[in-house]
C-alpha cells in the first residue's frame, strides 16, 4: 500500500490559496512576528520589563556534614530575594520578580563544577556562592568563561580572587587577613610560643593554616608539629598522640566544625592541656554541640564584626528567625548582603543582563547588614574586619575585633577608578587561573572555604 504524506503547507494554507493570497509572504510575516515576540521576551528578562522573572543562582552543600552551613547560606539568599519581591523592586523602570535557583554542590570540587555548568546552562543572571573555597575556585573559571557574575558570601581562600577573573567577588575578609590576625593573636595575646598545626588538606583548611603559620613565625612563635587529616575523619588519636608528645602551648586546626568538635573531645580525653584555635569553619554553634564540655576555653575567629554589632544585625536576626524558625548558623548575613549587592548593581545598571550590570558590580559601595561593602580591584572586600571569640558556657563570646572601620574616601575613589578601567585582568588564557584551579582539584581531597 502506498502511503500518502500530507503536505503541511497545503493543509494549512490551501483555503487561502484560493483567495489568491501570497502564501510565502504570509508565512514569512508570521515567522517575523514570532521572532519579534521572542526577542521581546528576552529583552524583558534583561532590562526589567514588567513581569520579567530573573533567575538568581545559589550553590552550597545542602546534603552531607556541612548541610547546616549550606542551608544557612541558602536561607540568607532566599530572604533577600523574598524581601526584594515584596518591595516590588524595579530594574530599568519596571518591576521584576527574582526566582531562586538553588543547587547542592555537596562541598565537593567536582560536583561544584557540574553545578556551575548547570547554572550557566540554566541562564541564571548571577550566582551567589559557593560556600566553600574548594568548590568556589574551580567553579569560578566556568562562571568567568560565561561572563556570569559570582559573589561568594563565605569562600575565603585568597586564590579565588587572585585568578584575574572580572566576575569574582566576595563580601568578607579573606584568609590572608584572617591568618595574619590569628597568628599574631596566638603569639602576642595568648602567649603561645610552641604551636601545633593540623589541617584537613582542603583549599580552606590548608590555605588558612599556611597563612597562620606565616604569621606565627613572623611574630616569633615556633611550629612544633604540622599534621593533616581529611574532612571525613572522626578518629584523630594517632595525630593527637604525636601532637601531645611535642607539648604545645596551642593547637591550631584548619578545617570545619564537623571535625573540630570531635577533635576537641579527643584532645581533652588524651590530656592535652593546650587550648584549640581555629578559623570561621569551626566557629559555630554546631562545634559547641559536637564538642560538648570540651568546647570550653577554646578560641576561634570570624571575618566581620559580631552580629549584634552589625548595622541592622539584631533586626536581621529577628527577621531570619521569624521566616525560617531556625537560628543563624554562620554566614546567612553575608549571603543576604551578597544577594542585595547583586540586586543593587542591576538597579544601577538598569538591567539584569550580566554584561550590563557586571561593570557596576565592581563599583559597589553598599551599606549592608554586615557593614559597608566596597570591592577592591580584585573583587575582595576592602578593609574587612576579623573578630576573635572564646567559648564560655557553651557560647562563643566576642573578645576583640581587628580591622574594619571606615574606608577612606581616597581608597574608595581609587577602587572605583580601577573598576571603571575594567578591574583585574585575566593572567593569560591558561596562566595563573588554571594553575590555581589545578592546585585545588589535585590537592584537595575534601572541601573547604
Please, what is the average pLDDT of the chain?
85
The pLDDT confidence band at residue 232, using thresholds 50, 70 and 90, is: confident
Residue-wise pLDDT for 350-388, tens only, equals 999 999 999 999 999 999 999 999 999 999 999 899 999
pTM equals 0.79
Query: What does the alpha-carbon distance between residue 407 and residue 253 come to, in Å, rounded to a whole number?
Result: 32
Tell me the domains of the chain and their CATH numbers.
52-173+310-383+421-443 (3.40.50.2300), 176-303 (3.40.50.2300)
Q: What is the strand order of the sheet 52-60 is part of?
A: 90-91, 94-104, 52-60, 127-129, 150-152, 168-170
Q: Which of 172-176, 321-325, 436-440 has the highest mean pLDDT?
A: 321-325
What is the structure's pLDDT at 329? 93
Return the C-alpha cell found at 127.
Answer: 550566582
CA 344, 349, 353, 359 dihedral sign is negative
Query: What does the alpha-carbon distance between residue 32 and residue 283 come to, in Å, rounded to a whole number?
Result: 59
Residue 252 exposed, middle or buried by CB count within 10 Å (0-12, 13-18, 19+):
buried
Residue-wise pLDDT for 268-300, tens only, equals 999 999 999 999 999 999 999 999 999 999 999
What is the structure's pLDDT at 33? 44
Is the pLDDT reported for residue 438 higher than 50? no
What is the structure's pLDDT at 383? 87
**What three-state secondary structure class fits 66?**
coil
What is the structure's pLDDT at 49? 52
What is the structure's pLDDT at 397? 96
Please state, as a whole number, how many other Cβ atoms lie within 10 Å of the Cβ of residue 55.
Answer: 16
Amino acid at each position: 500500500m502506498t502511503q500518502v504524506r500530507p503536505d503541511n503547507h497545503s493543509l494549512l494554507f490551501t483555503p487561502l490559496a484560493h483567495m489568491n493570497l501570497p502564501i510565502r509572504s504570509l508565512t514569512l510575516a508570521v515567522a517575523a512576528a514570532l521572532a519579534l515576540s521572542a526577542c521581546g521576551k528576552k529583552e524583558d528578562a534583561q532590562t526589567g520589563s514588567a513581569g520579567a522573572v530573573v533567575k538568581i543562582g545559589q550553590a552550597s552543600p545542602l546534603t552531607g556534614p556541612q548541610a547546616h552551613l549550606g542551608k544557612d547560606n541558602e536561607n540568607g539568599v532566599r530572604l533577600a530575594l523574598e524581601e526584594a519581591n515584596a518591595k516590588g523592586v524595579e530594574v530599568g523602570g519596571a518591576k521584576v520578580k527574582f526566582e531562586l535557583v538553588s543547587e547542592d554542590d555537596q562541598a565537593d570540587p567536582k560536583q561544584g563544577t557540574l553545578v556551575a555548568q548547570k547554572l550557566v546552562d540554566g541562564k541564571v543572571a548571577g550566582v551567589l556562592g559557593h560556600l566553600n573555597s574548594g568548590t568556589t575556585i574551580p567553579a569560578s573559571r566556568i562562571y568567568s568563561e560565561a561572563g556570569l557574575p559570582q559573589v561568594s558570601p563565605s569562600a575565603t581562600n585568597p586564590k579565588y580572587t587572585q585568578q584575574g577573573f572580572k566576575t569574582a567577588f566576595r563580601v568578607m575578609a579573606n584568609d590572608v587577613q584572617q591568618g595574619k590576625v590569628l597568628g599574631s593573636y596566638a603569639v602576642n595575646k595568648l602567649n603561645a610560643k610552641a604551636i601545633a598545626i593540623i589541617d584537613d588538606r582542603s583549599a580552606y583548611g590548608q590555605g588558612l593554616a599556611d597563612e597562620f603559620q606565616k604569621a606565627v613565625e613572623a611574630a616569633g612563635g615556633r611550629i612544633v608539629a604540622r599534621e593533616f587529616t581529611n574532612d571525613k575523619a572522626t578518629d584523630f588519636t594517632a595525630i593527637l598522640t604525636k601532637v601531645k608528645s611535642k607539648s604545645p602551648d596551642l593547637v591550631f586546626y584548619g578545617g570545619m566544625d564537623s571535625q573540630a568538635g570531635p577533635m576537641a573531645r579527643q584532645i581533652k580525653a588524651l590530656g592535652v592541656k593546650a587550648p584549640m584555635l581555629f578559623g570561621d569553619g569551626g566557629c559555630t554553634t554546631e562545634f559547641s554541640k559536637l564538642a560538648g564540655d570540651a568546647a570550653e576555653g577554646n578560641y576561634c575567629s570570624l571575618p566581620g564584626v559580631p552580629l549584634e554589632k552589625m548595622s541592622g544585625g539584631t533586626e536581621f536576626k529577628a527577621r531570619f528567625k521569624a521566616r525560617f524558625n531556625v537560628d543563624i548558623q554562620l554566614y546567612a548575613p553575608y549571603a543576604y548582603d551578597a544577594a542585595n549587592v547583586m540586586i543593587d548593581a542591576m538597579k544601577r545598571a538598569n538591567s539584569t543582563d550580566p554584561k550590563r550590570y557586571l561593570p557596576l558590580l565592581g563599583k559597589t559601595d553598599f551599606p549592608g547588614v554586615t557593614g559597608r561593602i566596597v570591592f577592591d580591584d580584585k573583587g575582595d572586600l576592602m578593609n574587612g574586619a576579623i573578630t576573635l571569640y572564646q567559648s564560655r558556657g557553651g557560647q562563643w563570646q566576642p573578645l576583640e575585633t581587628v580591622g574594619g572601620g571606615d574606608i577612606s574616601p581616597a581608597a574608595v575613589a581609587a577602587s572605583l577608578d580601577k573598576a571603571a578601567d575594567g578591574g583585574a585582568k585575566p593572567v593569560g588564557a591558561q596562566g595563573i587561573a588554571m594553575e590555581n584551579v589545578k592546585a585545588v582539584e589535585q590537592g584537595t581531597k575534601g572541601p573547604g572555604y
